[in-house]
Amino acid sequence: MSIKYYAKISGTGMSVPEKVLTNFDLEKIVDTTDEWIRTRTGMSERHIASKNEAASDLAYNATLKAIEAANIRNKDIDMIIVATISGDHPFPSTACIIQQKLGLKGFPAFDVSAGCTGWIYASNIAKQYIENGVAENILVIGVEILTKITNWKDRGTCILFGDGAGATIISRAGERDISRFIDSELSADGTHYDLLIQQAGGSRIPASNESVGENLHTVYMEGNKIFKNAVRSMYHACDVVLKRNHLDVHSIDWLITHQANLRIIQALGKKLKIDDKKVIVNIEKYANTSSATIPMALDEAIRNGKIQHGDLVLLASFGAGLTSGSLLLRI
C-alpha cells in the first residue's frame, strides 16, 4: 500500500514524580553501594511515585506539555495510544482514563503491552494511522510506575527502576515539512518470554495469598541473558532500517536507545560504530522507566536544544516478550 501522508512528531512532553531516591538511599534498603550501582548501571538516582500517584497522573501531566509544544487543542486529538505494563488498572486501559482526563470521547483509545519497547510499538501503530489518512493527530504515551511492582528485597532489580512518563503528539506532516517518520522495524522473540516477567496477577497465576507471599507480582529478570539479547536485537533493528534507506551510521545526528543500563547503551554504540557524542543518555537521573525512557530522553534533548529541527534521529529499544524495535525519523 502506498503512503497517502507522512507522519511526524509535532510535540513532546515528560513528567516524573517529585520524590527522588538516590543510590545512597538504596544503601539503607538493600546490600548495595552507590559505587556498585553507578559502575554497573550508570544510574545515580530515580524518581519514585507517591502512594497516591498512578500512571495516568504522570501521563496526563506529560500530555499537557506535549499538546502545548505541538500547538494544538485537546479536541484536535483523534486517537490515544498508551504504552505501559504498569497502568492504573489491569482494565480499563490507561488510554481511556487519559481520554476522560482530557475531557474527550468518541475516538479510539487503547493500551499497548510491549514492555520497554512499548513506545516504539505504539508510535509505529500511530504512524500507520497517520499515513493511511485515518487520523491527523495521535497522542502516544510511554508511562510506567515500575516501583510499585518492584521487589525491594531483590538487590539485583530494585536498583534499576524509576517512574516517569513521556508523551508525544504524532501528526500529519505538511507537503513542505521536512519533519517525518522515515522507517521503522518491529520484532519479537517469544521463545525468551520468561526472562523478564511479572508472573502473577493474570490468568496463569491469579492473585492469592501465596502469590503475594512469594513476590510473584513483582518484576523478575535474568539480567545477564537480557543484556546479550538487548544488544543483539537493537543492533539488528537499527541495521535493518539504515540499510533499507541506504544510510550508514555517519548519516545519523542522534541515537536514542532504551535507557536500561549504561553498559548496554555503550555496547550498542560500539557495535554500531557511532560517535559517543551522538548518543543521548539520561539514565543517571531517571534510571530505567521502561516504555517511558525514549520519549522522556527525546523530550529532554529537544527542550535543552541538543536535538534541533531537521536532525536525523535513530531510536531503538528492547523489552519483555522479548520485543525489540527501531524508528528512524527527522525531527
Q: Tell me the residue type at 16.
A: V
Using CA atoms of 303, 309, 310, 316 in order, give the dihedral in degrees to the nearest 10. Answer: 20
Q: Tell me the residue type at 284.
A: E
Q: How far apart are CA 236 and CA 227, in angstroms?
A: 14
Q: Tell me the residue type at 296.
A: M
Q: How far apart are CA 10 and CA 177, in angstroms?
A: 11
The verdict on whether 137 is a catalytic residue reads no
Q: Is 240 exposed, middle or buried (0-12, 13-18, 19+ CB in 10 A)?
A: middle
Q: Which residue in the list 23, 229, 261, 288 is annotated as catalytic?
A: 288
In the sheet with 109-112, reading across from the earlier edge strand, the strands are 7-15, 163-172, 137-145, 79-83, 109-112
* Cα–Cα distance list, 97 to 101, 102, 125, 199 (Å): 6, 9, 20, 25
Q: Which residue has the cell 527522588?
A: 20
Contacts of residue 320, Cβ cutoff 8 Å, sequence gap at least 6: 85, 114, 115, 116, 193, 196, 197
- On whether the CB atoms of residues 185 and 237 are closer than 8 A, the answer is yes
The verdict on whether 238 is a catalytic residue reads no
The secondary structure of residue 192, as a DSSP letter, is G
Q: Which residue in the list 61, 124, 238, 258 is annotated as catalytic?
A: 258
Integer Rg of the chain from CA: 19
Q: Which residue in the list 96, 116, 158, 238 is annotated as catalytic?
A: 116
Q: Which of 300, 301, 297, 245 is nearest to 120 (CA)?
A: 297
Handedness of CA 93, 94, 99, 101 (dihedral sign): positive
The verdict on whether 151 is a catalytic residue reads no
- On whether the CB atoms of residues 92 and 109 are closer than 8 A, the answer is no
Please list the active-site residues: 116, 258, 288
